[in-house]
Amino acid sequence: MFSNAILVMLLIFSAQTIAVVSDVRDGPSIDYPIRSGYIDKVLSWWPPASIAAGLGVPGYAAPHLYNYLILAFWSCSSGNLDMVNVWGNPVYYFGNDT
């Protein structure tokens, strides 16, 4: 009886998962390639232009093909960690004049 209950729960979960996937596929399409880059650390922390270059900011970074840049890490329990700290407190890293 217990195994039948688990089987029914799995079938219900599968049906819900399939419904969610089909909803996503029915959404708007993207007509450009997705190229993502992952930023784990910045090699230079001064001047602010060097930080922006390390984060891949257009106009500061060398030309690249990435259209999505992923900053490491954000934690549910601790909040901003590592590179996301720059996003979370930009004035601390870039100053008021940048």
**Domain-embedded: residue 6:** no
pLDDT at residue 91 is higher than 80? yes
> How far, in Å, are 5, 14, 43, 83, 92 from residue 66 at the CA level?
47, 35, 19, 17, 26
Q: What gap in Å lies between CA 98 and CA 90, rounded to an integer?
A: 10
> How many angstroms separate the CA atoms of 57 and 55, rounded?
6
Tell me which H or E stretch contains 7. Answer: helix 2-25
| Range of the structural domain that residue 66 is part of | 36-94
Work out the angle at residue 97's Cα, subtended by the Cα atoms of residues 94 and 98, and round it to the nearest 5 degrees.
50
Q: Are 64 and 57 in contact (CB under 8 A)?
A: no
Does any domain span residue 68?
yes
Q: What pTM was computed for the model? A: 0.59
Q: What is the mean pLDDT of residues 47-76?
A: 87
Residue 40 lies in a domain: yes
Does some domain include residue 72? yes
Total domains in the fold of the chain: 1
User: pLDDT band at 17, cuts 50/70/90?
Assistant: very low
